[in-house]
Structure 1
Amino acid sequence: MFRRQGLRVAAAACCAAVFLATPALAGNDGPGAPGAGDDYFPGYGNGGYDVSHYDIQLRYQPNDDFLSGTTTIVAKPTQNLTAFNLDFALNVKSVRVNGKPAEVKHDGLELTVTPQETLPEGSLATFVVEYDGVPSTVEVGGVNPWIRTADGALAIGQPEISSWWFPGNDHPRDKATFDIAVAVPDGTEVLSNGVNTGTSSLAGWTTWKWRTTKPTASYLAFLALGQYEISTKTGANGQPFVTAYSDQLGELEGAAKASVERTPEVVEFLSGLFGEYPFEAQGGVVSSEGMNFALENQTRPTYSHKFFSRGANTSVVVHENAHQWFGDSVSVDTWRNIWLNEGFASYSEWLWSEKQGTGTAQELFDHYYSATPADDPFWQVLPGDPGAENVFHDAVYDRGAMTLHALRNVIGDQALVDITRTWVSEKRYSTGTIEQFIELAEQKSGKQLDEFFKAWLFTPGKPAVGEATGVPQSALLASATPPPAVAEIDATHERAHAH
């Protein structure tokens, strides 16, 4: 998750305007809302329709970063829709709604489309958008998440990226399936989500086709375009396991492969904790430039080469694959709820360390608790409501993981397992809130946990030692020598905060 300070400041500044645009009531004729109602990022997403599928057809030239494409969106209006918005940054050539040309107005990331006829609530609707542009040159509100590289590009980012390569409803609440086809000059590789359904060449161009059949949030759809060594093997559960390593990794290639090739083992470990892996494929992509973060792209996390500069790093592989359950399958209902993603992904690293014998979860908890003084600004950021400017703050990750371990101390191992497995099962392919998680935790544990979660997620300051907070005396007596896993975990979080 990237540290995009310009975006955070801009988003915070516009929070006051969150509900100035009110969605039309279902069943009434009217335009859809230009935002999904997320108080951290009010311009993200749209109201008035639900997308079920994106068909994205692209042509990309690495030499000049020129992208042209046609995206067909299959959607269902949730009201009688007289106009609607799409989130998009590139130049729009035309829009057709149900086969007919539509009127278009474009302002920043907001593409307002007025069809010739009102779209009835519940009907089948198709939006076909033709467009082009040079994504690396398009900046909106001081932000450009598109990453141009020497041999291509990376369309990878959070919480925004899709608007720089396909139009859509850019918020985790509106998930869809994807078909993605990209034509590139022969010799260039294309990676995306799911399963490769075909590759064909004609007149010096090769078209790569990828399909993901499980509901996917827009920011988790990705592209990696360039020179890669691609391998397809059999992973956990007999699923396709697709990896891609940049041809330019040099001396880091061995460490990268020693880490990412353990993904099937990691998926098996995490499945034992959380339940069945939720998607149809597994894998990973390692870039050689342009990124200093990792991102949990659905079915295929992408890693910066920098994670492997000190050798193999399985912690980041665990972190990103834990997100397949927490963040990808169960996504945030609004971005305020980011702790549900990062707390579980970070705590998964602690559980992996426990399995590997490089530090128990309690030893890691004790280290992070004792090593961070009470007056450290770290304790002033609230994981349960960090603010738009702190969505990817250290506290969301590390205090977030500490919260889960403290909860384990309060309610016991089996109750935490029951809560976690029920959460990912009942919320599969949808979204969740912290309040819903707390309600489930109380239901499964039989304990009243409001004060516990208030102390850990919603109150500034360092939670005190005690049974109610789940902080044992051992946290005050932690060894000055941290467990071996800390170096790898810290290196992971140092960069993974941008995912």
Structure 2
Amino acid sequence: MAALAVAGALTGCQVTIGDRDAAEPSPPVAPTSQTNGPSGPGSAGDRYVPGDGNGGYDVQHYKLKLAITPGGAKELDGTAEITATATERLSRFNLDLTGLDVSQVTVDGAPAQQQRQGSELIISPAKALEKNAKFTVSVRYSGTPQPVVDPILGRYGWIRTSDGVFVACQPSGAHTWFPSNDHPSDKATFDFEVTVPEGLTAVANGEPTSKVPSGGGSATPGASDGPDVIPAAAPAAESATASTARGRRAVTTTWRVKDPMATYLATVTVGRFGVKTGKTPGGIPIISAVDPSVSAVPLDTFHAKNAEVTDELVKLFGPYPFTSTGGIVDNAAVNFALETQTRPVYSALGADQTIIAHEIAHQWFGDSVSVTKWQDIWLNEGFATYAEWIWAERIGNETLQEKFDGMYADAGNRELWNVPPGNPGRANMFGRSVYDRGGMTLHALRKKVGDQKFFGILKTWAKERRHSNATTPQFIEVAERVSGQQLDSFFDAWVFKRGRPAL
């Protein structure tokens, strides 16, 4: 995630669902003794995001059927079909969901009892789920998602724009628009089926499995090596699925995420976009979308820079971990960008190329290798910040050493030296220590072990933890193994202790 300021770019980092068919309420389910049986924990136990996540099951896949009508009486009408495995015997289990009306819940096709307690949807299946059983829960719901407004973390999640919605959910916004196990420790694959009013485009994670509507035809990314430009605000293509809802023509497209994704990285951003598809010079499929009202970001320039940055970071960090790259620039009135998986989102403030480097670096560090708990967020932000600094040096800005020296010389900077990035506390999880001292830690490590070992550490980390979760002690183990050095005291000073480390 990158937080943006008008005076300069500061690095930091932070979707709808619908079925337009009439939803019938679930038949009442008579309480049974099973409602008093074993249940999974109603939280992941992460004190940085109290109440988020759940236990007792492991989600493998989300299939989200979304009808999004920006500005409608109900902006979202949806069905979430969630495939999971019980990790213990369950008479009931929780999903995270906030502020939306639930009309029907089934488990393996049978009506299930549901209760709401705050941000928890508590589901009691008709029959208890045995340990290791695979099951599917379907939830039909509707309403207008509201942004998260947090006194510490600010405003994020479902953000209305002048022509659609901008969806950026770090850390706790996913359950404002779909029921989920909303914690990065439970990653899953996704399918999106998205219906929007004619003239709007929905851009999601992964790749389209239907044609992308355009005025002059349709394009499927990866179908050829050449780019295909899709005009902004194009009318629906004849090949797209069209339907009529509330008297308005609507267009449906589908997207698939083949690799596991944390819920906060999901997006379905809707608006009037110009879209360009193709492949990077290195052969990675790429999809870029820009709202033309953000005049400071030409689509062709943005698309080319996404391609260039992706290919260059492959040289530093190893093979690109996903099936496509790119980005979305929307006219959203927020001050951050977010590394939504395969397709980072950028606000109306634009997409400076160092911020693009930051967000694309997250595809390795944060998206593919995800935190187990949020206290380790420096593994996301410190790494992406260091990539941002590398790119700044590449284009003739401050060198890495100049950046490091300038920050180190500021001995009185309490934000850096009084907050250990390895456990900054919830109030500082997006603070300067996580980003800047995190980046400085990597530069100090590079100076200590040398370039060859340093980039070997990063490549090994990205390879061994690909598509999984990780902790700071696990990174230290990799750094010691690859470098051949004992690094406990180094990381203790730079990551876990207060105070400015000695050089």
TM more than 0.5? yes
Amino acid at match of 1:294: A
Answering whether residue 463 of structure 2 is matched by residue 454 of structure 1, we say: no
Amino acid at match of 1:82: S
2:104 is aligned to: 94
Amino acid at match of 1:173: S
- Name the SS of the counterpart of 1:155 in structure 2: strand
**432-441 or 132-141, which deviates more:** 132-141
Distance 2:77 2:265 in 1: 21
Q: Which residue of 2 aligns with 1:124?
A: 134
Matches within 5 A, 1:230-379: 230-250=275-295, 252-254=296-298, 258-308=301-351, 313-370=352-409, 372-374=410-412, 376-379=414-417
- Deviation, 1:401, is 0.5
Q: Which amino acid aligns with 2:202?
A: V
Contact 1:80 1:118 in 2 (8 A): yes
Which among 192, 195, 201 is matched to residue 242 of structure 2?
Answer: 201
Tell me how far apart the structure 2 counterparts of residues 365 and 382 of structure 1 sit (CA, whole Å): 17
**1:445 lines up with 2:483 in the alignment:** yes
Aligned to 1:177: 189
Deviation, structure 1 residue 2: 8.4
Q: How large is the RMSD of aligned CA atoms in angstroms?
A: 2.0
Percent identity for Structure 1 against Structure 2: 45
**SS state of the match for residue 199, structure 2?**
coil
2:112 is aligned with 1:71 = no
Alignment of 1:207-226 (within 5 A): 207-226=252-271
Q: CA deviation at 1:258?
A: 2.8
TM-score (norm 1): 0.83
4+ runs deviating over 6 angstroms: 137-144
Give the C-alpha shift of residue 339 in structure 1: 0.5
**Matched residue SS, 2:133:** coil
Question: What one-letter code is carried by the residue in structure 2 that aligns with 1:184?
Answer: V
Match of 1:206, SS state, is: strand
Match of 2:173 in 1: 161
SS in 1 for 2:500: coil
Name 1:8's counterpart in structure 2: none
Q: Structure 1: which 5+ runs fail to align?
A: 4-28, 467-499
Question: Given residue 47 of structure 2, which amino acid in structure 1 is its aligned partner?
Answer: D
Distance (whole Å) between structure 2 residues aligned to residue 344 and residue 77 of structure 1: 34
Secondary structure of the 2:146 match is helix
Give 1:296 shift. 0.3
Q: CA deviation at 1:247?
A: 2.9
Q: Write the distance in 1 (CA, Å) between the matches of 2:83 and 2:163.
A: 33
Counterpart CA distance in 1 for 2:393 and 2:2 is 28
* Structure 2 residue identity aligned to 1:211: R
Deviation for aligned residue 1:145: 2.7
Residue type at the aligned position of 1:231: K
Match of 2:437 among 399, 410, 414: 399
- Distance across 2 between alignment mates of 1:117 and 1:248: 53
Give the AA of the match of 1:456.
W
Residue-by-residue CA offset, 1:429-482 (whole Å, 9 max, x unaligned):
001100111122122222221111111112222222x3xxxxxxxxxxxxxxxx
Instruction: Tell whether the 8 Å contact from 2:415 to 2:432 is kept in structure 1 after alignment.
Output: no
State how far apart, in whole Å, the 1-side matches of 2:481 and 2:468 are. Answer: 21
What per-residue deviation string (whole Å, max 9, x for no partner) do you get for residues 68-98 of structure 1?
A: 1011001111111111000111111111001
Deviations 1:357-394 (A, max 9, x none): 43332222112222x23354432111111001111001
Q: Could you say which residue in structure 1 is the equivalent of 2:32?
A: none
| C-alpha separation in 2, matches of 1:30 and 1:189 | 44
Query: CA 1:443–1:295 in 2, change beyond 3 Å: closer, same or farther?
Result: same
For 2:499, the aligned partner's letter is G
Quick one: which of 139, 143, 156 aligns to 1:133? 143
> Cα distance 1:375–1:393, how it changes in 2: closer, same or farther (>3 A)?
closer
Contact conserved, 1:92 with 1:130, CA < 8 A, in 2? yes
- Map residues 10-25 of structure 1 onto 2, 5 A cutoff: none
Mapped contact 1:98–1:125 kept (Cα < 8 A): yes
Change (3 A) 1:293 1:143: closer
Task: Report the CA distance between 1:259 and its aligned residue.
Answer: 4.2
Structure 2 CA distance for aligned equivalents of residues 376 and 102 of structure 1: 52
Does 2:434 match 1:422? no
The one-letter amino acid paired with 2:257 is T
Counterpart AA for 1:74: T
Q: Which residue is equivalent to 2:160?
A: 148
Structure 2 gaps, min length 5: 4-36, 211-239
**Correspondence for 2:12:** none
Residues 297-306 or 199-208, more deviating? 199-208
Partner of 2:420: 382
TM-score normalised over the length of structure 2: 0.82
Residues 1:113 and 2:157 are matched in the alignment: no
Q: Are 1:41 and 2:49 counterparts?
A: yes
Structure-2 change in CA distance of 1:175 and 1:137 (3 Å): closer
Hey, what's the Cα distance between the residues in 2 that align with 1:56 and 1:34? 22
1:492 maps to what in 2?
Answer: none
- 3-state SS of 2:185 partner: coil
User: Matched residue of 1:243: which SS?
Assistant: strand
The alpha carbon displacement at 1:105 in A equals 0.8
Distance in 1, Cα, partners of 2:310 & 2:387: 11
Give yes or no for contact 2:147–2:159 (8 Å, CA) kept in 1: no
Tell me whether 58-67 or 427-436 shows the greater mean CA deviation.
Answer: 58-67
Q: Provide the secondary structure at the position in 2 that maps to 1:113.
A: strand
Shift of 1:289: 2.4
Alpha-carbon shift at residue 318 of structure 1 (Å): 0.4
Cα distance in 2 for partners of 1:369, 1:138 equals 35
Task: Report if aligned partners of 1:66, 1:133 keep a CA contact under 8 Å in 2.
Answer: yes
Aligned length: 433
Deviations 1:397-456 (A, max 9, x none): 111100000011111111112211111111000011001111221222222211111111
Tell me the amino acid that sits aligned with residue 214 of structure 1. D
Write the deviation string for residues 110-165 of structure 1: whole angstroms up to 9, x where unpaired.
Answer: 11101111111112200000000011388899977320112111221200221121
